Structure 1
Amino acid sequence: MVLKNSKILVIDDDADVLMAMRLLLKPFVKEVVIEKNPNNILSQIDKVSYDIIILDMNFNGLVNTGNEGIFWLNEIRKQKPETSVILMTAYAEIDLAIRGLKEGAADFLMKPWKNEKIIETITTILNHKKSKSTQKSQLKSSTVEIIGDSILMKDVYVKLRKVAPTDANVLVLGENGTGKDLITRALHDNSHRRDKAFIKVDVGALTASLFESELFGYKKGAFTDAREDRKGRFEAANGGTLFLDEIGNISLSQQAKLLTVLQNRQVTPLGSNEAIPLDIRLICATNSDPKLLADESKFRKDLIYRINTVDIVVPPLRDRGTDIMELSRHFISIYAEKYNKNPFSFDAGFISKLKKHDFPGNVRELQYVLERAIIMTDGHLLKAEDLVFSSIERPITTPSLESKSLNLDDLEKNAILTVLEKHKGNVSKSAKELGITRAALYRRLEKYEL
C-alpha cells in the first residue's frame, strides 16, 4: 500500500535508462517522473513532494567523477531533507556511493540493476519512512520535536510511547545539555493530562527557606513577607504534571519534606492546617550519576522508589552517531532563517570536524556552536574553520610535573585554557591577564582550535 501511493522522481542523462526505469516502476507506484537535465532538479522538487528520488551519480560522459551526484544530493537535502535519495552508480564508483551514504543518501543501486532489487530497495525505504513518521507522530510535542533516529534514541522512543499515557512517576537521567527538558515535555504532551498544567521547578536552585514556600505555598501572615495567600507549585500543577528538575541536588531534609507530600498525596501550605489533596503526574530529572543517588548518605532510598517508577536515560550526543548530522541540519536551517540568511551547505571538512568532536556540552553545545558559525560565516558553504568549539565545556586538569608537556605551544595553549576558564570565557579579561591584545588572543584561539 505504501509503494502504491508513492511518487518517484528519476534523474539520469541517459534516455534509455529513464525509459527502462519508468516502465519498471509505473505498475507499482502512484507516479513516476523522469528528468534528463539535473539543472531542473530543484524546480521539480519545489513543485512536487516526491517520496523518493533516484539520482545518477554522473551527468558528464567525459568525466566520470561522481561529484555531480554528490553535489545534487546535497542540493536536494538542503531543499527537501525529508526526501529519500537513492544513488545509481557503476561498480567502479562504489567508493563514491559509500561517500554518498555518509552524506545522507538512503541507499545506492548498481548498474546494471536487477528489477526485483529496485522494488525491494524502494519498498524498504518507504516502510522505514512510514515507521519513522508513525513513531514521531506518536511522540510529537505541541511545543518541541525530538530529533534523532540512532539506536539509543529509538530505545528512548520505545519507553516514551509506553510510559507517556500512564500516570507512572518518571526519573529522567542524563548529562547536562542532552535534552532532558524535551523528554519531560514529550511525556506530558503525550499523556491524558496534556490539556492541563505543566509546571517546572528547578528544585536544585531553591534555598532551604524558599523550598517549602515555593513548592507547598503559604497563607497570608505565615511569615514576615507573606502579604497574601500564594499557591505552591504542587497545587498549581493539580490535575496536570509537575516537573522537578535537578532533583539530585536537594538536601536530605528537603527530601524528607518532599517524601511526606508524595506519600500522603496532599500538601499543607505554610501557615495553614488544611491539607489540599493532590492529583499530579510527577516527573523528575537529574544529571547526577545514578551511583550517587544510590548512596543513602546523599539520597533517601524511599524517595528514589517514589520518584523512579520508570527511568529514562537520555544518551550523550557523542554516542548518538548519525544524529549529530541530523541535528546539525536542523539547527543550521533554524539559524539561517533566524538571521535572514540563505540556506547553507557544508563541506567534508566541516562534517569530519563535527564527527570528531566529543561534545562534552552535548546538544546544547552543538546548538550554540552552529549558531555562532551561521552568524560569523560570510558565504553559504560551512567549512571546518567555521566551527569553533568553546573551552568552557572542556574540563581543565592540572597534570603532575612529570606528565606535563614542556612544549612551548602546549604551555601557551594550557595557559590560555586556564585563563579562559578563570574568566568564564570572557575574552577581554583573559587577554588582559595574558598581557596580549584581544586580536592576538583570537589568533591563538584559532591556532589551537579553541
Structure 2
Amino acid sequence: MSSAWNILLIEDDPVVARTTDILFRLAGHHLDLAADPGAAYSLLARRRYDAILLDMNFTAGRSSGEEGLACIARIVADHPGARVIVITAHSGIRIAVAAMQAGARDFLMKPWRKDDLLAKCAAVIGRREMPGASPAPRPVMGTTGPPLLGDSAVMAEVRAIVRRVGPTVASIAVTGRSGVGRTLVAMAVHGASGDAAAPPIRIDLRDAEQWGALDRAQGTALLRHPDRLDGVAQARLLDRLLPGLRCISVADSLDGLAPALRRRLCTLEIAVPPLAARRDDAVVLARHFAQIAGETYGRATVTLTPAAEAIIAAIDWPDEVRGLAAAIERAVLLSDDGVIDAAAVRPVTPATPSPAAPDPAPAFRLEDAERLMIEAALKEHRHNISRAADALGISRGTLYRRMAQHGL
C-alpha cells in the first residue's frame, strides 16, 4: 500500500494500545484508540477508517466474546463497508469464526507479531471484491451525516427502522420535539437510500421563497415543518409535489396534516424519543460532544467526572439534545484541565420557550434535580463539604442547609 492508513483500535488494555500505536506510527500510519465500544461509535460517527482492529472482550473476567460480537453487529449495521479485523486469544477460534460470520473481514490471534498485524491490515485494506460479487452497500456515514448514537432500546429501534426503510422509495415523516435530532434521523434515512450520493433538496416550508425548489425537485426532498402550514398552504404543497419525488419530512407532529397530504408525506412515521425517555443516552451523547469540542478547542483529552455524568442523565435538558450539546461545548471551552465536573454542566434555560409541542409533564421536580446534583458532588469529592460546595458554586453553610432539607 502506497498511502498512509487511518486505523481504529478498540482495545481496553492501555499497554496493548500504546504498543500498537507505536507500531503503526513507525510504519507511517495513523491510529485512533477507543477504550470501549461506546468511544468507538463516537469516533466512527466523526471519521472514516481504512480498517478497524477489535478486541473481543472489554469487561474484566469475561472471555465469551459477546461484547465484541455485539460491537461488530453494530458497526456493520451502521457502516456496511467497514473492514473489521478481530483480535482474540489462541483459544478463541470459535469466537473468531463467529466474528467472521457476523461481518468481520479477518482475525488475528494473540500474542500477535507486528509483521502479521501489518500484513493482515494490508490484505484487508487492499482486498478487492471477488468477480461477480455484489458490491458492499453504501455506509450510512458519509456526506449525508453520521450514524445515530445511543445505546437505549428506543434508539436501537430507530436505527433498525432507518436501516429497513432507508433503501426504499417510501416517503418518511420524522417527528418529535425540536432539538431531539429529527434532522439527523432524516439524513440517516437518506444516507441509507440509493440516492445517498446526491444531497437531498432541503426546503423549509415556512419560507415562501424556498418553495420554488419544488418545481425542479428530483430524487429526495427534505421538507421541514409541513405541520406549520394552514389548510390552503397544505393543499398547494400537495399539488406541487412531483410524482416520483421521495419526501422525507421533519415535523413536531402529524396531527395537523390534512389526510391527503399525510398520505403523500408519511408512508411511515419515525418518532424520535426525547432524552427523558432515554436518559442513559444523554451520557453517551455528552461524551461524544465533549470529544468534538475538545478537538475544536485544542483540548488533548476531555473527561466527564462520574458526578457530571450522573447529573447529565438525571436532569431534563432544555432544547433536548441540542441543549445538551451546547452545555457540553460551553463546559469544555471554560475548562482549564479538560475535566468536566458536575457544576460545569448545569443547563442554561432558554430565554423564550420553544414554539414546539407543549412540554410533557416533568420527569421529576426541581427539588429532585437539586438533590441529585448535591449527592453527585458529595460522591465526587468523597463527602468533603468544602470541595463539594465549591464544585456546586455555593457556600459551605448553604450546602449544609440544602443537605438538611433533602435529608442528606
Q: Which amino acid aligns with 2:18?
A: S
Map of 2:68 onto structure 1: 126
TM-superposed CA distance for 1:8, in Å, is 9.9
Q: Which amino acid aligns with 1:46?
A: D
TM-superposed CA distance for 1:332, in Å, is 0.9
Contact 2:204 2:223 in 1 (8 A): yes
TM-superposed CA distance for 1:41, in Å, is 6.0
Contact 1:42 1:76 in 2 (8 A): no
User: Is residue 210 of structure 2 the alignment partner of residue 214 of structure 1?
Assistant: yes
User: Is residue 257 of structure 2 the alignment partner of residue 299 of structure 1?
Assistant: yes
- Aligned with residue 248 of structure 1, among 222, 227, 232: 227
Secondary structure in 1 aligned to 2:247? strand
User: Is residue 21 of structure 2 the alignment partner of residue 46 of structure 1?
Assistant: yes
Q: Distance in 2 between matches of 1:185 and 1:311?
A: 14
Q: Deviations over 1:212-234 (max 9, x none)?
A: x632xxxxxxxxxxxxxxxx212
Q: Deviations over 1:288-334 (max 9, x none)?
A: 3x4xx1xxxx4312211221101111111222243222211211111
Rate the CA distance shift 1:446–1:200 in 2: closer, same or farther, 3 A.
Answer: farther
Map of 1:60 onto structure 2: none
TM-superposed CA distance for 1:135, in Å, is 1.5
- With 385-394 and 353-362 compared, the bigger mean Cα shift is at 385-394
Contact 2:238 2:261 in 1 (8 A): yes
TM-superposed CA distance for 1:260, in Å, is 2.2
Contact 1:350 1:387 in 2 (8 A): yes
- Aligned with residue 307 of structure 2, among 334, 346, 349: 349
Map of 2:190 onto structure 1: 188
- Return structure 1 stretches of 4+ with deviation > 4 angstroms: 7-11, 393-396, 445-448
TM-superposed CA distance for 1:152, in Å, is 0.6
How many positions carry a matched residue from both structures? 271
- Which aligned pairs between 1:132-281 and structure 2 lie closer than 5 A? 132-138=74-80, 140-143=140-143, 144-145=145-146, 146-203=148-205, 205-206=206-207, 210=208, 214-215=210-211, 232-238=212-218, 240-262=219-241, 265=242, 278-281=243-246
Rate the CA distance shift 1:80–1:246 in 2: closer, same or farther, 3 A.
Answer: closer
TM-superposed CA distance for 1:197, in Å, is 4.4
Contact 1:241 1:283 in 2 (8 A): yes
Q: Distance in 1 between matches of 2:231 and 2:330?
A: 41
Rate the CA distance shift 1:196–1:140 in 2: closer, same or farther, 3 A.
Answer: closer
TM-superposed CA distance for 1:42, in Å, is 5.6
Map of 2:247 onto structure 1: 282
Q: Which amino acid aligns with 1:198?
A: P
Contact 1:361 1:393 in 2 (8 A): no
Map of 2:267 onto structure 1: 309
Q: Deviations over 1:128-160 (max 9, x none)?
A: 011111111146232321222321111111111
Rate the CA distance shift 1:79–1:285 in 2: closer, same or farther, 3 A.
Answer: closer
Contact 1:369 1:387 in 2 (8 A): yes
Q: Deviations over 1:110-136 (max 9, x none)?
A: xxxxxxxx442xx21121011111111
Rate the CA distance shift 1:393–1:47 in 2: closer, same or farther, 3 A.
Answer: farther
Q: Which amino acid aligns with 2:217?
A: A
TM-superposed CA distance for 1:252, in Å, is 0.7
Q: Distance in 2 between matches of 1:322 and 1:260?
A: 44
Secondary structure in 1 aligned to 2:79? helix
Q: Which amino acid aligns with 1:248?
A: D
TM-superposed CA distance for 1:184, in Å, is 1.3
Give the share of equivalent positions with the same residue, in percent: 25
Q: Distance in 2 between matches of 1:371 and 1:316?
A: 20
User: Is residue 82 of structure 2 the alignment partner of residue 107 of structure 1?
Assistant: no
Rate the CA distance shift 1:393–1:175 in 2: closer, same or farther, 3 A.
Answer: farther
User: Is residue 284 of structure 2 the alignment partner of residue 326 of structure 1?
Assistant: yes
Q: Which amino acid aligns with 1:147?
A: L
RMSD: 3.5
Rate the CA distance shift 1:106–1:395 in 2: closer, same or farther, 3 A.
Answer: farther
Q: Deviations over 1:18-64 (max 9, x none)?
A: xxxxxxxxxxxxxxxxxxxx7x4662353479xxxxxxxxxxxxxxx
Rate the CA distance shift 1:188–1:76 in 2: closer, same or farther, 3 A.
Answer: closer
- Aligned with residue 388 of structure 1, among 335, 346, 354: 346
Contact 2:226 2:250 in 1 (8 A): yes
Q: TM-score, normalised by structure 2?
A: 0.59
Contact 2:10 2:36 in 1 (8 A): no
Rate the CA distance shift 1:193–1:353 in 2: closer, same or farther, 3 A.
Answer: same
Q: Which amino acid aligns with 2:298?
A: N
Rate the CA distance shift 1:159–1:76 in 2: closer, same or farther, 3 A.
Answer: closer
Q: Distance in 2 between matches of 1:284 and 1:214?
A: 15
User: Which is greater in Rg?
Assistant: 1
Contact 1:78 1:344 in 2 (8 A): no
Q: Distance in 1 between matches of 2:295 and 2:247?
A: 37
Contact 1:178 1:314 in 2 (8 A): yes
Contact 2:11 2:58 in 1 (8 A): no
Map of 1:272 onto structure 2: none
TM-superposed CA distance for 1:173, in Å, is 0.6
Contact 2:275 2:320 in 1 (8 A): yes
Rate the CA distance shift 1:180–1:257 in 2: closer, same or farther, 3 A.
Answer: same
Q: Distance in 1 between matches of 2:306 and 2:265?
A: 45
Secondary structure in 2 aligned to 1:154? helix
Rate the CA distance shift 1:258–1:347 in 2: closer, same or farther, 3 A.
Answer: same
Secondary structure in 2 aligned to 1:358? coil
Contact 2:37 2:71 in 1 (8 A): no
TM-superposed CA distance for 1:194, in Å, is 1.8
